[in-house]
Homo-oligomer: A and B are copies of this chain.
Amino acid sequence: MDEPIRDSRTLAIQLRDRIAELIRAEGLKPGDKLPTEAQLTQRFHISRPALREALKLLEQDDIIYVEHGRGRFISAMSAVQVDRPITVFESVTDMAQHYGYKPVNKVLSISEEDPPAVVSEKMCLEAKARVIRIERLRLHDEEPILYCIDYVPRTIIPAKLYDIDWSGSLLNLLEQHRHRPRMSAATVSSVMLPDDVVERHDLRDFGPALLIAETCFDAAGKPVNYALDYHRGSHFTFSLVRK
């Protein structure tokens, strides 16, 4: 192993960071050519194999790309970043606040039930398991912007339903019960609100909704919540990077 880089952080990672630094410092732009291997080994006083390992990391991170026979180039990835992507797991409340909404949370109904088949399946529930069903509406300036149904296994929140304040964050409630959701497997689609919901809750003007249906897992990988969040289309647009 070569001389100048030698601490507990390992060579390839250090080197990756140094090359990334070099790219910034020299103002290299997407499409620009990276210095050659010979130039880089000389500059950083390192061996070819060590350098290649670092370059592989940069390629994995989409900082550079290889055109065979032509060399390595700065990629567009650094230029393509989006604010608060849909892939970030966060509470509906935090998300809505980020959009500038100050949502008021109306609890429409709370009940203990047998889970619908899809809920049993998504949360891997046992045959006789019961769930709490929470139906809520979020209003901003008296306008409905989100219609949400949440299912939580009864075993996770064993308290009397009427002893709990359901108008707060479900994530925080689950955290109090030591099962804070950390990530989810989700689907996203475009739908109208179900007819019975529209009629029961006077939501005729809601229009098309972005439905995020997600199974949320705690840090231990246990499914602790199945959520259907209907985001009013006129009020929400999510961003993401695709690559």
Which residues does A use to contact B, with CB under 8 Å?
A: 1, 6, 8-13, 29-31, 47, 49-50, 52-53, 62, 65, 67, 73-77, 79-82, 86-89, 182-192, 207-211, 214, 217-222, 231, 233, 236-243
10 A-B interface contacts by CB (under 8 A): A8-B52, A9-B12, A65-B219, A75-B182, A76-B222, A82-B186, A87-B87, A186-B240, A190-B191, A190-B210
Residues in B neighbouring A81, C-beta threshold 8 A: 185
Q: Measured between alpha carbons, how far is A122 from B200 in the docked complex, in Å? A: 42
**Of B8, B10, B218, B239, which one neighbours A186 at CB under 8 angstroms?**
B239
Q: Establish whether residues A210 and B210, one from each chain, have CB atoms under 8 Å apart when the complex forms.
A: yes
B243→A31 contact, CB < 8 A: no
Question: A75's closest neighbor in chain B, by CB?
Answer: B219
In the complex the two chains form, is B217's CB within 8 Å of A79's CB? yes
Rounded to whole Å, the gap between the CB of A140 and the closest CB of chain B is 17
**For residue A29, which residue of chain B has the nearest CB?**
B221
Contact between chains at A236 and B189 (CB < 8 Å)? yes
When distances are taken between beta carbons in the complex, the residues of chain B under 8 Å from A218 are 76
CB distance from A77 to the nearest CB of B (A): 7
Contact status A76-B30, CB under 8 Å: no
The answer to whether A187 touches B238, judged by C-beta atoms less than 8 angstroms apart, is yes
> Which B-chain residue is minimally distant from A79 (CB atoms)?
B221
A185: chain B residues within 8 A (beta carbon): 80-82, 239, 241
A208 partner, pick from B13, B88, B191, B238, beta carbons under 8 A: B191
| A219 contacts across to B, CB distance below 8 A | 31, 65, 67, 73, 75-76
